[in-house]
């Protein structure tokens, strides 16, 4: 079984709709992250969380919110989706004592 899972894997939604992307991990890591990936722009950090009570904005947090429901679960919400939020979204985890991050399989989101 995959260590980091994301649901849904693909989603098409309309402008103005609220949508939630979910991430679960079985690696036992404390730290979790949400990134988006756009062609030509690379991976950019949206939000990160060091534990359930510690949530921080990344470099492109406008239009997004997150919830850390448990050590193993971290959700990303788009309050009112817009077309330029069409992208690949990745969840990642890391252990406090190590620096490398482990990524989930991604969610392809299309906003029409």
Partner 1 sequence: EDQVTQSPEALRLQEGESSSLNCSYTVSGLRGLFWYRQDPGKGPEFLFTLYSAGEEKEKERLKATLTKKESFLHITAPKPEDSATYLCAVQAGGGSNYKLTFGKGTLLTVNP
Residues that bind partner 1 (CB under 8 A): 4, 31, 33, 40-43, 45, 48, 50, 58, 88, 90, 92, 94, 99-106, 108
- Cβ-based nearer residue to partner 1, 15 or 45: 45
* Distance of closest approach, residue 55 Cβ to partner 1, in angstroms: 12
* Distance of closest approach, residue 34 Cβ to partner 1, in angstroms: 12
Contact between 30 and 44 under an 8 Å Cβ cutoff? The reply is no
* Distance of closest approach, residue 62 Cβ to partner 1, in angstroms: 18
- Cβ-based nearer residue to partner 1, 19 or 47: 47
- Cβ-based nearer residue to partner 1, 74 or 90: 90
CA 29 from centre of chain = 15
Cite the beta strand spans of the chain per DSSP E: 4-7, 10-13, 19-25, 31-38, 42-51, 54-57, 64-70, 73-78, 87-94, 102-103, 107-111
- Cβ-based nearer residue to partner 1, 51 or 79: 51
Contact between 111 and 11 under an 8 Å Cβ cutoff? The reply is no
């Amino acid at each position: 079984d995959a260590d980091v899972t994301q649901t849904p894997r693909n989603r098409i939604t309309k402008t103005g709709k609220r949508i939630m992307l979910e991430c679960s991990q079985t690696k036992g890591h404390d730290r979790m992250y949400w990134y988006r990936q756009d062609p030509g722009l690379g991976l950019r950090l949206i939000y990160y969380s060091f534990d359930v009570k510690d949530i921080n904005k990344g470099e492109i947090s406008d239009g997004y919110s997150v919830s850390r429901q448990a050590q193993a679960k971290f959700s990303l919400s788009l309050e009112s989706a817009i077309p330029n939020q069409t992208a690949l979204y990745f969840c990642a985890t890391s252990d406090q004592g190590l620096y490398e991050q482990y990524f989930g399989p991604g969610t392809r989101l299309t906003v029409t």
